[in-house]
Amino acid sequence: MKPRVLQYGRLMPSLEKQLAEAFDLHRLVDEADPSAFLAQRGAEFVGLATAGFADAALIAACPKLKVISSFGVGVDKIDLKAAAERGIPVGNTPDVLNDCVADLAIGLMIDVARGIGASERYLRAGSWPKGAYPLQRRMSGKKLGILGLGRIGHAIAKRALAFDMDIRYHNRRAVADTSIAHEPSLVELARWCDFLVVISAGGAGTKHLVNEEVLNALGPEGFLINVARGSVVDEPALVRALQDKRLGGAGLDVFENEPQVPAELMALDNVVLVPHIGSATVETRAAMAQRVFDNLKSYFSTGKLISQA
Ligand code: 8YV
């Protein structure tokens, strides 16, 4: 008998197909009243496939649940405590997205410093014949601060070295086996660096770590890049800092209330805004989908996940 798996939310069509072939899959999105369905039939499911979401209520609604497999590395919207209390392992998709997220971080750094997007808007608006675009900022050889030196942080550092950047990082605790200097104070890191890249985990433990004080320390010639979670940055404080020109600019892939982006941010020219595309390439999304499948397959055949959050 195929294990009964609940699919929460939509997944890539190719992944949904693969899951439906291997498991007795049920898509919660097809239910007119998902809560009533779960109340009645939640006990049927032993597996849950999701794209980053599983709160305590959803976990409780599936009393026989044995495993969760999530699309994405971030598990900040999965109640890990509720899962752990029931001994339910949570699978995620680390490593396969490191390169693409790191590529995007570097892309945002170059764009915000050099004004690629902003100067293209200038050109398309027909402004070039009226005068040259104002001089922007150099990235090569500058100072990079990384908030959250994990797997993706290391991939960003590796790329930044090719731009002759001087690199330091802030984590709560220093990381072993790295030659990159640890800065115990995030404010001091922000004061030191020209570019502060946020690539820490999301969730309660990192909420609003990048606050007004950090943004002021980064200063009018500093750039903030966020490819982690919107929750790590105090967004209203960021908007005010950008509007007051207390911060040089920002490159943002993530926002506090996605897919809503504050109109105040959209009105600014010294920001580069992209819609959470860090892992959004054909190659990386295929690898993430495969890991979601492999985690479930592995759990049901060996009792172990390939990658556990
Ligand atoms: C998302 C991400 O998973 O991996 C993560 O944590 O933020 C992204 O790769 C992606 O947007 C799909 O939900």
Q: Which residues pair with residue 146 across a beta bridge?
A: 169, 197
The Å distance, Cα 305 to ligand 1 centre, comes to 19
Q: Name the token pair of 70.
A: 């999530």
Q: Is there a domain that residue 187 lies in?
A: yes
| Residue 140 confidence (pLDDT) | 98
CATH number at residue 61: 3.40.50.720
Which residue puts its alpha carbon closest to atom 2 of ligand 1? Answer: 72
Based on the domain organization, do 168 and 264 belong to the same domain?
yes
Q: Phi and psi (nearest 5°) for 243?
A: -65, -40
Closest to 37 (Cα-Cα) out of 11, 7, 12: 7
The Å distance, Cα 292 to ligand 1 centre, comes to 12
CB 5 within 8 A of CB 19: yes
The Å distance, Cα 53 to ligand 1 centre, comes to 11
pLDDT band with cut points at 50, 70 and 90 for residue 45: very high
Domain holding 248, by residue range, is 98-273
The Å distance, Cα 1 to ligand 1 centre, comes to 32
**In a mutational test of the pocket of ligand 1, which residue from 8, 15, 50, 73 has the highest number of ligand atoms less than 8 Å from its CB?**
73
DSSP code of 232? G
Based on the domain organization, do 114 and 180 belong to the same domain?
yes
Based on the domain organization, do 167 and 222 belong to the same domain?
yes
Based on the domain organization, do 90 and 105 belong to the same domain?
no
- Spatial separation of the C-alpha atoms in residues 247 and 285, rounded to whole Å: 34
DSSP code of 145? E
Closest to 253 (Cα-Cα) out of 144, 164, 152, 168: 152
Q: What is the mean pLDDT of residues 232-240?
A: 98
Closest to 248 (Cα-Cα) out of 213, 275, 224: 224
Q: Which residues contact 35 (CB under 8 A, 6 or more apart)?
A: 61
- 73: Cβ below 6 Å to ligand 1? yes
Which residue puts its alpha carbon closest to atom 5 of ligand 1? Answer: 72
Q: Which residues contact 21 (CB under 8 A, 6 or more apart)?
A: none
- 97: Cβ below 6 Å to ligand 1? yes
Enumerate the active-site residues. 229, 258, 276
Q: Which helix (H) or strand (E) holds 109?
A: helix 98-114
Based on the domain organization, do 129 and 181 belong to the same domain?
yes
- 77: Cβ below 6 Å to ligand 1? no
Q: Phi and psi (nearest 5°) for 53?
A: -125, 130
Burial code (b: 16+ CB inside 10 Å, e: under 16) for 153-176 equals bbbbbebbeeeebbbbbbbeeeee
Closest to 275 (Cα-Cα) out of 264, 288, 266, 284: 266
Based on the domain organization, do 77 and 122 belong to the same domain?
no
How many other CB atoms are there within 10 angstroms of residue 35's CB atom? 13
Q: What is the mean pLDDT of residues 147-165?
A: 98
CB 65 within 8 A of CB 84: no
Q: Is there a domain that residue 309 lies in?
A: no
User: What does the mean pLDDT of the chain come to?
Assistant: 98
Q: Is there a domain that residue 9 lies in?
A: yes
- 71: Cβ below 6 Å to ligand 1? yes
Task: Give percent above pLDDT 70 in the chain.
Answer: 100
CB 97 within 8 A of CB 288: yes
- Spatial separation of the C-alpha atoms in residues 91 and 308, rounded to whole Å: 4
pLDDT band with cut points at 50, 70 and 90 for residue 43: very high
- 94: Cβ below 6 Å to ligand 1? no
Q: What is the per-residue pLDDT across 159-177, written as a single tens digit (0 to 9) for each?
A: 999 999 999 999 999 999 9
pLDDT band with cut points at 50, 70 and 90 for residue 16: very high
The Å distance, Cα 261 to ligand 1 centre, comes to 17
Q: Is there a domain that residue 289 lies in?
A: yes
- 150: Cβ below 6 Å to ligand 1? no
Based on the domain organization, do 268 and 289 belong to the same domain?
no
Based on the domain organization, do 170 and 226 belong to the same domain?
yes
Which residue puts its alpha carbon closest to atom 11 of ligand 1? Answer: 276
Closest to 295 (Cα-Cα) out of 14, 11, 71: 71
CB 192 within 8 A of CB 183: yes
| Residue 268 confidence (pLDDT) | 96
Based on the domain organization, do 119 and 262 belong to the same domain?
yes
Q: Is there a domain that residue 86 lies in?
A: yes
Task: Give percent above pLDDT 90 in the chain.
Answer: 100
Q: Is there a domain that residue 24 lies in?
A: yes
- 98: Cβ below 6 Å to ligand 1? no
Based on the domain organization, do 173 and 137 belong to the same domain?
yes
**In a mutational test of the pocket of ligand 1, which residue from 71, 76, 99, 152 has the highest number of ligand atoms less than 8 Å from its CB?**
71
Based on the domain organization, do 111 and 206 belong to the same domain?
yes
Domain count, the chain: 2
Q: What angle do CA 276, 283, 13 make, to 5 degrees?
A: 75
| Residue 137 confidence (pLDDT) | 98
Closest to 102 (Cα-Cα) out of 149, 136, 138: 149
Q: What is the mean pLDDT of residues 92-121?
A: 98
- 255: Cβ below 6 Å to ligand 1? no
Q: Is there a domain that residue 307 lies in?
A: no
Based on the domain organization, do 31 and 111 belong to the same domain?
no
- Ligand 1 atom nearest to 71, measured from its CA: 3
Q: Is there a domain that residue 238 lies in?
A: yes
